[in-house]
A and B are shown apart, each in its own frame.
Chain A
Amino acid sequence: MTGSLQATAAPLLQAISIERRFGASRVLRGVSLEVGPGECHLIVGPNGAGKSTLLRILAGLARPSSGELRVFGSPWSADVASRQGVSLLSHQSYLYDDLTPTENLLFAARLHGMTDPLGSARVGLDGVGLTGRGDEPVRRLSRGMVQRVAIARALLTAPRLLLLDEPFSGLDPEAAERVIGLLRKQMAAGRGVILVSHDLHEAWELATHTHVLVRGEWKVSGPVQGSLESFLGQYRDALRE
């Protein structure tokens, strides 16, 4: 099913020769990426390689110094339409600690103009296994639970393109398995996923494409070939170059 989606549909995202400079420092050097429906692009790399900066640019939170970005076939612009259908899960939860998970999701749903905000919030919390914890302030939840609420928030609007920065961070194996199931459903529905993760065993279950980012440029980039072990070998070689 994934294969047929890839073969027929237009790309959800095209990034062409993205560069990002902070003063004299070049954080991203000509990074190109094309994400189609049903694909999951796993991006790995050492700390400071530019992974989070790339995700921020793809989400529209930062602008590239040069290069072209097309989202759902249209050039990215700062207007409202370019942000429709893209969701980002970052290192930060984007949650308000004084509000409950339900209130946080309700706020996000209302902001997006969803027709049944409360119903959507409940379904979202149910999806990450937090049905009974929806009415406690976020500040009282454990790190893993906060991460699950953040994931529910990212998935709430059924975005066509999901950008996930370390989604498995702080999750126990059961919760990680649940999140993998949720992401598989998203991919089966034709949504695209870009996944930055150091938890390679979990991420490998979803990846259709892999990219190794070192010092702002791809060292490895292409569809998944072979096993996780062979990819880890490629990764190590890329780090040694």
Chain B
Amino acid sequence: MRCVSDFFRVALTVAGKDLRVELRSRTALVSAITFAALVLVIFNYARDPAEISREALAPSVLWITFTFAGVIALNRSFSLERENAALDGLLLAPVSRSAIFLGKYLANLAFVLTIEAVTLPLFVLFFSVDVHGNLAGIGVTAVLATAGFVAIGTLLAAMTVRTRFAELMLPLLIFPFLLPPVSWAAQITTRLLAGRPVSEIVGWMRLITLYDVVFVTLCLLLFPSLVDE
């Protein structure tokens, strides 16, 4: 029992530190939100209204924006540990490596969900999409889809942080892992915005949940061997 409480104490300490650093510098949040707003503006003006309806394009645009803005935030996650070799300081502490991963993961999840929460009203504004009545569904979908790809992103960010092209490597490596949750989330969003019955989205929701369970568990197990030389 003591072991479990220590595990979560360490995870919350690491997450709290990351949130405090980000609130102080706002580097990742400002960059990701600015990027998200620019993507939405470009998609809005690049679309040919006569050929492609807003409703057809909106779900894909929303998830493209969420994921790429999320990757920007994930890149920051371990780059702050690279400054002054702070990651070595973390690894020297007599604490579970998996607890460190969980802390980094929780902080990243909070960042990316915050970015999504700020981006969603901009999306509604630019695409004039009526989310009234679907907000809870879109929120649950966002949390479920984000939980999985942030876990993979956190692991890959730890892997790429010591490489020369860390900012390039993370989007490249995460890409294959992003495809399943993002495509499932886009399918759910399309049906939610079209007012389709819940029975049509339950299958996708189950797939995303399974993806989350598998990848969060795998990442928790793999992180220690990744950071130990």
Contact = CB atoms under 8 A, between A and B. Distances in A.
B26 to A, nearest CB: 10
A113 interface: yes
Interface stretch (B92-100, B133-141, B176-184): B92-100
Interface in B1-53: 6, 9-10, 13-14, 17, 20-21, 24-25
B88 interface: yes
A92 B85 contact: yes
Nearest to B18: A96
B83 A96 contact: yes
Interface in A102-117: 103, 107-108, 110-113
A97 B84 contact: yes
Contact of A62 (B85, B95, B229): B229
A99 B20 CA distance: 8
Nearest to B21: A98
Nearest to B85: A92
Contacts of A112: 93-95
Interface residues of B, number: 27
Contact of A90 (B25, B88, B228): B88
B94 A83 contact: yes
A96 B6 CA distance: 23
A170 to B, nearest CB: 14
B80 A61 contact: no
B89 interface: yes
Q: Is the interface of B mostly helix, strand, loop or mixed?
A: helix
A94 B84 contact: yes
B86 interface: yes
A92 B88 contact: yes
A97 B83 contact: yes
B91 interface: yes
A94 B88 contact: yes
A111 B93 contact: yes
Contacts of A60: 92
A81 interface: yes
Interface in A1-22: none
A220 to B, nearest CB: 29
Contacts of B9: 110, 113
Nearest to B13: A110
Contacts of A108: 89, 93
Contacts of A81: 94
A87 interface: yes
A60, A111, A113 pick with most chain B CB within 10 angstroms:
A111
Contacts of A78: 224, 228
Contacts of A95: 84, 86, 89
30 contacts: A61-B92, A63-B229, A78-B228, A80-B96, A83-B93, A83-B94, A90-B88, A92-B85, A93-B85, A94-B84, A94-B85, A94-B88, A94-B89, A94-B92, A95-B84, A95-B86, A95-B89, A96-B17, A96-B80, A98-B21, A99-B17, A99-B21, A103-B20, A107-B17, A108-B89, A110-B13, A111-B10, A111-B14, A111-B90, A137-B24
Nearest first, the 3 closest Cβ-Cβ pairs linking A and B are: A94-B89, A92-B85, A83-B94
